[in-house]
Homo-oligomer: A and B are copies of this chain.
Amino acid sequence: MAKRITQCPIARSVEHVGDEWSVLILRDALYGLTRFDEFQKSLGIAPNILTRRLNSLVEAGMLERAQYSEHPPRFEYRLTPAGRDFRSVVLAMAAWGNRHFAHEGLSMMIVDAKTGEVADPILVDRKSGRPLTTPDFRIAAGPAASEIMKKRYQNIPPTTSMLETAK
């Protein structure tokens, strides 16, 4: 990929966890799985592919490999802080999948632990609590943007589809 693309935080995320299996491995790790056998059972994935994906997630800084038995030597895979923080992406995917493809009803939900009421996840600004919608918010080039990136973001209309329009 060209240099100008790798400045984009979305492209960077994709580079770190691009393929489908990696997202599903991280999903399972976020649910609490740590061992090779557990991932294999959950995903029904070929061992050689699982090994490759786990290694690449370790290399990308999403998982770390830790020995939990000496005889025989056995390892487990634990989420790093960046891997744990990837839950925000996985949860956004779950919410989007539920909104558009759960035609037979929901099979996974986030619920209020006390009332059992189903949550409807949306992105807001942490500090003000306001939804990230136009025209209140817009996409902008940051201080580290290259000239090409600045130009890209300047050409984005204020009512960009990237941000939902406030109702």
Question: Which A residues form the contact surface with B (CB < 8 A)?
Answer: 1-2, 5, 7-16, 18-20, 23-24, 27, 29-32, 42-44, 61, 79, 82, 84-102, 104-114, 116, 119-129, 132, 134-146, 149, 152-153, 155-158, 160-164
Q: Is the interface of A mostly helix, strand, loop or mixed?
A: mixed
A48 → chain B closest CB, angstroms: 17
Report the separation of the CA atoms of residues A112 and B140 in the bound assembly, to the nearest whole angstrom.
10
How far is it, in angstroms, between the C-alpha of A154 and the C-alpha of B114 when the chains are bound? 16
* Known pairs A2-B44, A86-B96, A158-B113; A14 contacts B24 (CB<8 A): yes
Q: Which residues of B contact A126 (CB under 8 A)?
A: 119-122
Closest 5 CB pairs of A and B: A106-B142, A9-B97, A105-B144, A92-B92, A107-B145
- CB < 8 Å neighbour of A24 from B11, B82, B91, B109: B11
Residues of B within 8 A of A129 (CB): 124, 129
- Determine how close the nearest CB of chain B comes to the CB of A27; give it in whole angstroms: 5
Contacts of A139 in B (CB 8 A): 31, 108-111
List 7 A-B residue pairs with CB atoms under 8 Å apart, sorted by A's residue number.
A8-B27, A9-B97, A12-B97, A107-B146, A108-B153, A113-B135, A113-B137
Closest to A104 in B: B144
Given A106-B143, A132-B121, A161-B29, A93–B89 Cβ distance below 8 Å? Answer: yes
The answer on a CB contact under 8 Å between B10 and A97 is yes
Q: Which of B7, B108, B119 contacts A137 (CB 8 A)?
A: B119
